[in-house]
Amino acid sequence: MKHVLIINRYDDELSDFNKYIDHDAVHVSYISLTETMRYITSSNCYYIAGLEQLNEEDVLKEAVKIYEKKPIDYVIAISEYDLDAAARIRTELNIVGATVEDNLLCRNKKKMKDALAHSTVRYPKYAEVSSHQDIEKFLQESGSAIILKPQVGAASEGVIKISELQDIPHLSSYAGYEVEEFIEGDIYHVDAIISDNKMPYFKVSKYINTCLDFRNGAPLGSVTIDNSEFIQKVERFTLDVCKFLKLKDQAIHLEFIESKGELIFLEVGGRVGGGEIPFITLRNESVDLYEMWIKAAMNIPLEPVNTKITGFLMMPNPYSSGFLFNGIKELENETITYQLIQESGDHNNFSYENIPAKIHFMGESQIQVEDAIKTSMKILQSAICQNHHSSLSLSESS
């Protein structure tokens, strides 16, 4: 029997590996946070290691112990925070799948673009920086706005748009940062599963606002594209990116800009997209992207999936203190399939999960869903206000 090692960080509805892997058909071992083991039972597992923290060195030590008991055939990690550890295990123990070097191509933004240098894929002009002066030089040579960002990171953390010299932040260290030209245009995301050099799940969506806007307090939306010609163009683009970045038998979340008819690569993650993406896919399309990813990683054949026209809206708290929605408990629109609205709250920590409102949409056309998202966005923006003395209240419907 094959032996699968799972690095487990969560215990939500998308983290029950009993649904994804027949524990009677293969040996399954876990390295898990001790606090997220509610779906893990010793009766159908080969080995279980519980850790207080999933730091890379401790995870590797446990993996070596497990491997010495029984060689491991596959290493599964579905959290972006565990991809480095999974790649390290594969590299150290010579296990099939993404190695440390491969993993860097979907973790490090500079290395992504380095790898595309000999391709036909267009990407922004960029440079690694190590000082304030390096950023000044790049800004002056660009002649227009630039973006400063960590080479490794997610959810636009640490990303800053710089238009003038005074916008350049004074950091204690610029190590691990890069700058790139700012390109005007719509930002899109591709969510796909790669299996045997094909994409049985492939979906192109357009952001309404940006992830950076969301981090800075503005709502973020996304709508599925229904233009077949554009979708085919993006599919060819995606396959080119995957070829040069050695992405195979896995999930990907790719972001690009469309500017003056040209597709421009931004970045790619070797994982399922975050935020509402996996939940809207599960609820509206009955497709579990994590299940497809795991099957692809284990070389289990996958049938093509017909996607639907969906969308989401995520509303953050734009205030430094609490918030309150005036007169809103539920939005009404025929395209809304799920909504969770916190009538009030007292938090302002950045999150994709614990936010004032999240709405799912599904419709017959991109225009219908996009209009519904924008209308809902305006309603929520006009209704949310600052609340200094708040207590949490939820209103959920689907």
pLDDT in tens, 122-176: 999 999 999 999 999 999 999 999 999 999 987 778 899 999 999 999 999 999 9
Q: Name the helix (H) or strand (E) containing 9.
A: none
Residues in the chain: 398
* Per-residue pLDDT at 349: 74
* pLDDT value of position 389: 65
More confident call, 398 vs 114: 114
pLDDT > 90? residue 394? no
Is the pLDDT at 397 greater than 70, yes or no? no
Residue 54, both tokens: 């999933």
pLDDT (tens digit, 9 = 90+) per residue, 71-108? 999 999 999 999 999 999 999 999 999 999 999 999 99
Residue 391 has pLDDT above 80, yes or no: no
CA 161/CA 149 separation, integer angstroms? 9
- Residue 26: Cβ-neighbour burial (10 angstroms; 0-12, 13-18, 19+): middle
Residue 387 banded pLDDT, cuts 50, 70, 90: confident
> What's the average model confidence in pLDDT over 287-308?
97
Q: How far apart are CA 296 and CA 98, in angstroms?
A: 13
Distance of alpha carbon 366 from alpha carbon 41, whole angstroms: 44
| Chain segment 13-33, per-residue pLDDT in tens | 889 999 999 999 999 999 999
Kindly indicate the confidence band of residue 329, based on its pLDDT and cuts at 50, 70 and 90. Answer: confident
* Confidence (pLDDT) at 390: 52
Query: For residue 348, what pLDDT is reported?
Result: 72
- Does the structure show a pLDDT above 70 at 197? yes
- pLDDT for position 396: 61
Residues 270/251, Cβ–Cβ less than 8 Å: yes
Strand partners, 357: 315, 341
- Classified as helix, coil or strand, 189 is strand
- The number of beta carbons lying within 10 Å of the beta carbon of residue 326 is 10
Query: Is pLDDT of 243 > 80?
Result: yes
User: Does residue 275 come out as left (phi exceeding 0), alpha (psi in the -120 to 50 range) or beta?
Assistant: left
pLDDT at residue 398, rounded to an integer: 59
Mean pLDDT, the chain, whole residue set: 94
What is the model's pLDDT at position 353? 77
pLDDT digits (tens, 9 = 90+) for 331-353: 999 999 999 999 888 877 767 77
Give me the pLDDT at residue 395, please.
Answer: 55
Domains of the chain: 3-104 (3.40.50.20), 125-181 (3.30.1490.20), 186-397 (3.30.470.20)
Determine the Cα–Cα distance for residues 149 and 104; give it in Å rounded to an integer: 16
